[in-house]
Amino acid sequence: MITVTALPAFSDNYLWLLERDGHAAVVDPGDAAVVQAALDARQLKLAAILITHHHPDHVGGLVTLAAATGAAVYGPRAEQARIKGLDGLVDDGDAVTLDRLGVRLDVLAVPGHTLGHVAYFEPRQRLLFCGDTLFIGGCGRLFEGSAEQMHGSLARLAALPDDTAVYCAHEYTLSNYDFATTVEPENRLLAEEFRRLQGLRAEGRATVPGSLARERALNPFLRSAEPALVAAVRRHEGHDIADPVEVFAALRRWKDGHQPRIR
């Protein structure tokens, strides 16, 4: 069994540490010092670094950590020009095998937030490391890709098994739920979950990972074909809109302009 631990960094990032029998891997080490401190405290040897996309809060500690530990660095081939220090270039459909941890991760291309963004999925324990693509109650901003690309990427992630644990890279959950409950003020399940998550945060606990089943049931960005969402987006846009990709695009724009009531 692999153990996964959140290493909080910056204001709201989680760097994910995978470990087994004294060996470790880290996903998106934005800050080398945070990872090094965890390795030292737990006496772990870093075998691998996995990168989802090129943004600095995900790759900032890569070069320092790789030099200090000799870890192999895997990241998206499509972003190789923008990420210094990649050893293993991965594409959609590839698998990354980490012998020291006895684990294999499947690579899924999930363009949208960036064009080369990838996610890593461990099928036995059903662990999904999805970077800035799917968040708890939300999704990443469209910095490089189109709404159609992001919609397709989220649909691929949503097709993974129900009990998949979603390890996203940011604690954005409460502001995502703030938006989701603005879109669907009548959705009782959403309101109940929002209260539960606010309770967790009030105790200083992480809301990540979440389950994929819950995301499929509650995350508005995975539900753009549902009548309730279509109706809400129609009201907001003030005109007819039905195509799920267009509903998704309108929802994403709505969120971009939304001022959270909480934070």
Q: Which residues are catalytic?
A: 53, 55, 57-58, 113, 132, 170
- Per CB under 5 A, does 178 bind Zn ion? no
DSSP string, 53-95: ---HHHHTTHHHHHHHH--EEEEEGGGGGGSTT-SEEE-TT-E
- Per CB under 5 A, does 132 bind Fe ion? yes
Rule CB under 5 A: which of 36-95 touch Zn ion? 55
Distance of closest approach, residue 7 Cβ to Fe ion, in angstroms? 14
Distance of closest approach, residue 120 Cβ to Fe ion, in angstroms? 15
Only one of the segments 34-42, 60-68, 80-88, 127-135 lies at the binding site for Zn ion (rule: CB under 5 A); that segment is 127-135
Distance of closest approach, residue 60 Cβ to Fe ion, in angstroms? 11
Closest to Zn ion by CB, 169 or 229: 169
In sequence order, what are the residues at sequence separation of 6 or more whose Cβ sits closer than 8 angstroms to the Cβ of residue 210? 136, 165, 166, 173
Closest to Zn ion by CB, 55 or 223: 55
Query: CA triplet 110, 35, 142: central angle to 5 degrees?
Result: 25
In angstroms, rounded to a whole number, what is the distance separating the alpha carbons of residues 184 and 169? 25
Distance of closest approach, residue 187 Cβ to Zn ion, in angstroms? 28
Centroid of chain to Cα 129: 6
What track of x and - describes contact with Fe ion for positions 48 through 77 (by CB under 5 A)? ---------x--------------------
Binding site for Zn ion (CB under 5 A): 55, 132
